[in-house]
């Protein structure tokens, strides 16, 4: 059911070959590079990075900090390191 929802709600495939990405799009560029690299791994019979169990514990977090508190300090209690 979930796979069907993702496939039907994805919308049309957009041609991104003429897209002009800038410095503010660094995260998009890195994500696309990772995806393209991962697609080529099976061709070389290499294991996919998502199958590495050590990365399965990584989760996103959300923190609301008081004004003036740096995120490095305010987020310390929820970080792994």
pLDDT in 10s for each residue of the chain, 81 residues? 556 655 666 677 788 888 898 889 999 999 899 888 888 888 878 777 777 777 777 777 788 999 999 988 888 877 765
| Cut 0.85: pTM above it | no
Per residue in 8-31, pLDDT (tens digit) is 666 777 888 888 988 899 999 998
In the chain, where the domains are located: 23-48
CA dist., res. 63 & res. 74, Å (int): 8
Taking alpha carbons only, the member of 50, 77, 52 closest to residue 63 is 77
The rounded Cα 65 to chain-centroid distance in angstroms is 24
């Amino acid at each position: 059911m979930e796979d069907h929802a993702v496939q039907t709600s994805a919308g049309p495939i957009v041609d991104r070959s003429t897209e002009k990405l800038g410095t503010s799009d660094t995260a998009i560029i890195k994500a696309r590079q990772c995806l393209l690299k991962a697609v080529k791994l099976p061709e070389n019979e290499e294991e996919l990075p998502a199958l590495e169990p050590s990365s399965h514990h990584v989760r996103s977090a959300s923190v609301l900090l008081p004004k003036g508190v740096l995120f490095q300090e305010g987020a310390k209690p929820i970080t792994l390191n």
